[in-house]
Protein backbone atom coordinates (compact mmCIF):
# COMPACT_ATOMS: atom_id res chain seq x y z
CA UNK A 1 0.00 0.00 0.00
CA UNK A 2 1.50 3.31 -0.97
CA UNK A 3 1.66 6.24 1.42
CA UNK A 4 -0.91 8.14 -0.68
CA UNK A 5 -3.38 5.29 -0.51
CA UNK A 6 -5.37 5.37 2.73
CA UNK A 7 -6.86 2.30 4.36
CA UNK A 8 -10.31 3.45 3.24
CA UNK A 9 -9.08 3.22 -0.37
CA UNK A 10 -8.39 -0.50 0.03
CA UNK A 11 -12.08 -1.22 -0.53
CA UNK A 12 -14.07 0.79 -3.02
CA UNK A 13 -17.33 2.18 -1.61
CA UNK A 14 -18.77 1.96 -5.14
CA UNK A 15 -18.51 -1.81 -5.54
CA UNK A 16 -19.69 -4.83 -3.60
CA UNK A 17 -16.76 -6.76 -2.15
CA UNK A 18 -16.35 -10.40 -3.14
CA UNK A 19 -13.05 -11.32 -1.48
CA UNK A 20 -10.00 -9.79 0.15
CA UNK A 21 -6.72 -11.75 -0.01
CA UNK A 22 -3.73 -11.15 2.22
CA UNK A 23 -0.84 -12.91 3.88
CA UNK A 24 2.78 -13.77 3.23
CA UNK A 25 4.72 -16.72 1.74
CA UNK A 26 3.82 -19.16 4.53
CA UNK A 27 0.17 -18.13 5.07
CA UNK A 28 -2.64 -16.98 2.79
CA UNK A 29 -5.93 -15.58 4.09
CA UNK A 30 -9.03 -15.01 1.96
CA UNK A 31 -11.89 -13.10 3.58
CA UNK A 32 -15.45 -12.99 2.31
CA UNK A 33 -18.60 -11.90 4.13
CA UNK A 34 -19.35 -15.36 5.53
CA UNK A 35 -16.02 -17.11 5.61
CA UNK A 36 -12.31 -16.72 6.25
CA UNK A 37 -10.20 -19.36 4.48
CA UNK A 38 -6.67 -19.75 5.80
CA UNK A 39 -3.89 -21.72 4.12
CA UNK A 40 -1.07 -22.48 6.54
CA UNK A 41 2.24 -23.54 5.01
CA UNK A 42 4.36 -26.09 6.85
CA UNK A 43 7.12 -23.54 7.48
CA UNK A 44 4.92 -21.08 9.36
CA UNK A 45 6.16 -20.31 12.89
CA UNK A 46 3.81 -21.55 15.64
CA UNK A 47 3.51 -18.03 17.05
CA UNK A 48 2.06 -16.75 13.76
CA UNK A 49 -0.65 -19.44 13.85
CA UNK A 50 -1.67 -18.11 17.27
CA UNK A 51 -1.48 -14.47 16.17
CA UNK A 52 -3.84 -15.10 13.24
CA UNK A 53 -6.41 -16.93 15.39
CA UNK A 54 -6.29 -14.22 18.06
CA UNK A 55 -6.64 -11.47 15.45
CA UNK A 56 -9.81 -13.08 14.09
CA UNK A 57 -11.10 -13.43 17.67
CA UNK A 58 -10.41 -9.77 18.37
CA UNK A 59 -12.43 -8.64 15.32
CA UNK A 60 -15.33 -11.13 15.55
CA UNK A 61 -15.83 -13.14 18.74
CA UNK A 62 -18.79 -14.91 17.09
CA UNK A 63 -16.48 -16.55 14.51
CA UNK A 64 -16.30 -20.36 14.62
CA UNK A 65 -14.32 -23.17 13.04
CA UNK A 66 -16.15 -26.43 12.48
CA UNK A 67 -14.15 -29.57 13.20
CA UNK A 68 -15.12 -33.15 12.56
CA UNK A 69 -13.17 -35.92 14.27
CA UNK A 70 -13.48 -39.65 14.81
CA UNK A 71 -12.61 -40.46 18.40
CA UNK A 72 -13.48 -42.60 21.40
CA UNK A 73 -16.64 -41.53 23.23
CA UNK A 74 -14.57 -40.45 26.26
CA UNK A 75 -12.51 -38.06 24.11
CA UNK A 76 -15.63 -36.02 23.31
CA UNK A 77 -15.62 -34.79 26.91
CA UNK A 78 -11.93 -33.89 26.57
CA UNK A 79 -12.68 -31.71 23.55
CA UNK A 80 -15.57 -30.07 25.40
CA UNK A 81 -13.40 -29.39 28.46
CA UNK A 82 -11.06 -27.47 26.13
CA UNK A 83 -13.83 -25.14 25.00
CA UNK A 84 -15.05 -27.00 21.90
CA UNK A 85 -18.84 -27.08 21.53
CA UNK A 86 -20.31 -30.43 20.52
CA UNK A 87 -22.77 -29.97 17.65
CA UNK A 88 -23.43 -33.60 16.71
CA UNK A 89 -22.05 -37.10 17.13
CA UNK A 90 -22.82 -40.54 15.79
CA UNK A 91 -21.39 -44.05 16.04
CA UNK A 92 -18.76 -44.67 13.36
CA UNK A 93 -16.53 -47.56 12.30
CA UNK A 94 -13.66 -46.66 14.63
CA UNK A 95 -15.43 -44.85 17.46
CA UNK A 96 -17.66 -41.80 17.21
CA UNK A 97 -17.81 -39.16 14.50
CA UNK A 98 -18.13 -35.90 16.41
CA UNK A 99 -18.68 -32.43 15.01
CA UNK A 100 -17.55 -29.49 17.12
CA UNK A 101 -17.75 -25.74 16.76
CA UNK A 102 -14.62 -24.04 18.00
CA UNK A 103 -15.72 -20.60 19.21
CA UNK A 104 -13.27 -17.76 18.71
CA UNK A 105 -14.70 -16.25 21.91
CA UNK A 106 -12.87 -18.93 23.92
CA UNK A 107 -9.12 -18.41 24.41
CA UNK A 108 -8.91 -21.97 25.76
CA UNK A 109 -10.48 -23.37 22.57
CA UNK A 110 -8.20 -21.23 20.37
CA UNK A 111 -5.13 -22.43 22.29
CA UNK A 112 -6.16 -26.06 21.70
CA UNK A 113 -6.93 -25.31 18.03
CA UNK A 114 -3.55 -23.60 17.53
CA UNK A 115 -1.82 -26.64 19.02
CA UNK A 116 -3.65 -29.05 16.72
CA UNK A 117 -2.87 -26.86 13.68
CA UNK A 118 0.83 -26.80 14.62
CA UNK A 119 0.80 -30.60 15.03
CA UNK A 120 -0.78 -31.03 11.57
CA UNK A 121 1.80 -28.65 10.04
CA UNK A 122 4.61 -31.00 11.09
CA UNK A 123 3.37 -33.30 8.29
CA UNK A 124 1.41 -31.21 5.76
CA UNK A 125 0.25 -27.77 4.72
CA UNK A 126 -3.26 -27.09 5.98
CA UNK A 127 -6.39 -25.29 4.82
CA UNK A 128 -8.87 -24.15 7.46
CA UNK A 129 -12.19 -22.34 7.16
CA UNK A 130 -13.70 -20.08 9.79
CA UNK A 131 -17.24 -18.78 9.61
CA UNK A 132 -17.90 -15.22 10.67
CA UNK A 133 -20.23 -12.25 10.19
CA UNK A 134 -17.56 -9.94 8.76
CA UNK A 135 -18.37 -6.99 6.51
CA UNK A 136 -16.16 -4.48 4.66
CA UNK A 137 -15.29 -2.68 7.88
CA UNK A 138 -14.45 -5.93 9.73
CA UNK A 139 -12.26 -7.09 6.85
CA UNK A 140 -10.27 -3.84 6.97
CA UNK A 141 -10.01 -4.11 10.77
CA UNK A 142 -8.76 -7.70 10.43
CA UNK A 143 -6.23 -6.63 7.79
CA UNK A 144 -5.04 -3.83 10.10
CA UNK A 145 -4.69 -6.29 12.98
CA UNK A 146 -2.78 -8.80 10.86
CA UNK A 147 -0.33 -6.19 9.54
CA UNK A 148 1.34 -6.48 12.96
CA UNK A 149 2.73 -9.79 11.69
CA UNK A 150 6.12 -9.33 10.02
CA UNK A 151 5.94 -9.52 6.22
CA UNK A 152 2.12 -9.30 6.05
CA UNK A 153 0.86 -7.86 2.74
CA UNK A 154 -2.38 -7.26 0.89
CA UNK A 155 -2.48 -9.51 -2.18
CA UNK A 156 -5.76 -8.94 -4.01
CA UNK A 157 -9.18 -7.32 -3.67
CA UNK A 158 -12.01 -8.80 -5.75
CA UNK A 159 -15.40 -7.20 -6.31
CA UNK A 160 -18.63 -9.04 -7.08
CA UNK A 161 -19.37 -7.03 -10.19
CA UNK A 162 -15.94 -7.92 -11.69
CA UNK A 163 -15.64 -4.31 -12.81
CA UNK A 164 -12.80 -3.61 -10.48
CA UNK A 165 -10.05 -5.91 -9.35
CA UNK A 166 -7.04 -4.57 -7.55
CA UNK A 167 -3.79 -6.52 -7.20
CA UNK A 168 -1.09 -5.75 -4.71
CA UNK A 169 2.40 -7.13 -4.62
CA UNK A 170 4.89 -7.23 -1.82
CA UNK A 171 6.99 -4.54 -3.51
CA UNK A 172 4.28 -1.87 -3.43
CA UNK A 173 4.33 -1.81 0.37
23 and 72 assigned to the same domain: no
Q: How far apart are CA 42 and CA 39, in angstroms?
A: 10
148 and 136 assigned to the same domain: yes
85 and 19 assigned to the same domain: no
Q: What is the pLDDT of residues 97-126, one digit of tens each?
A: 999 999 999 999 999 999 999 999 999 999
78 and 152 assigned to the same domain: no
Q: How far apart are CA 100 and CA 144, in angstroms?
A: 29
95 and 11 assigned to the same domain: no
Q: Residue 157: what pLDDT?
A: 86
Residues in the chain: 173
Q: What is the pLDDT of residues 26-64, one digit of tens each?
A: 999 999 989 999 999 999 999 999 999 999 999 999 999
State the pTM of this model: 0.85
Q: Residue 137: what pLDDT?
A: 85
52 and 86 assigned to the same domain: no
Could you tell me the residue range of the domain that residue 127 belongs to?
A: 7-62+104-172
Amino acid sequence: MSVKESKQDLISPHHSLSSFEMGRDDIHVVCTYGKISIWFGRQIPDVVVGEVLLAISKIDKTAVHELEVVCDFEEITDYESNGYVLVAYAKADKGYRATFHIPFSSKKALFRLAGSICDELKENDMLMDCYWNGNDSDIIRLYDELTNIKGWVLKKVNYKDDVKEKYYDSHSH
